[in-house]
Amino acid sequence: MTTAEQEALIIRRGAPWWRMLLRDRFALVAALWLLVLSICFLIGPELFGEAATKLNLRARNLPPGSTEHGWLMFLGGDALGRSMLARLIVASRNTLTIALVSVFAAMIVGGALGMIAGYIGRGIGHVIM
């Protein structure tokens, strides 16, 4: 066994998951980004629900990067002057809910088909796989 294999074995057995996450910068950035999206998903619609539907005709077609009408207009405004940032945050709940339901449905269907293919085997297993 080489030292790299021994080191990997030690990491797998002894280190908690958060220590391994701190060692890998890309994984840490991805985890932090998922945390930010999850927070927006959970509390965003309650905080910005009214701002997403509130009309402001002075902010119509406001370009991105503009903060003259407040930081919620950082991504610009649509044709009715609604904040694009607030609309994206509010819409994230629907998007992530649909994604999570789809993943769980695929897990259930795939797991059931995998069990059928593994248990019965032969021709039916080949057709399923």
- pTM to 2 decimals? 0.65
Tell me what the mean pLDDT of segment 74-92 comes to.
Answer: 90
What pLDDT score was predicted for residue 31? 93
Asked if residue 110 belongs to a domain, the reply is no
pLDDT band, residue 107 (cuts 50/70/90): very high
What pLDDT score was predicted for residue 64? 92
What pLDDT score was predicted for residue 8? 61
Asked if residue 38 belongs to a domain, the reply is yes
Asked if residue 19 belongs to a domain, the reply is yes
Q: Alpha-carbon distance 6 to 4, whole Å?
A: 5
Picking from 23, 32, 26, 87, the residue whose alpha carbon sits closest to that of residue 54 is: 87
What pLDDT score was predicted for residue 37? 86
How many C-beta neighbours within 10 Å does residue 107 have? 10
Asked if residue 106 belongs to a domain, the reply is no
Q: Is the pLDDT of residue 21 over 90?
A: no
Q: Is the pLDDT of residue 1 over 80?
A: no
Query: Strand ranges (DSSP E) for the chain?
Result: none
Domain count, the chain: 1
The lowest-confidence range among 5-14, 50-59, 62-71, 82-91 is 5-14
Q: Is the pLDDT of residue 11 over 60?
A: no
Q: Alpha-carbon distance 27 to 3, whole Å?
A: 24
Which residue segment(s) compose the domain that 11 sits in?
3-92
What pLDDT score was predicted for residue 92? 86
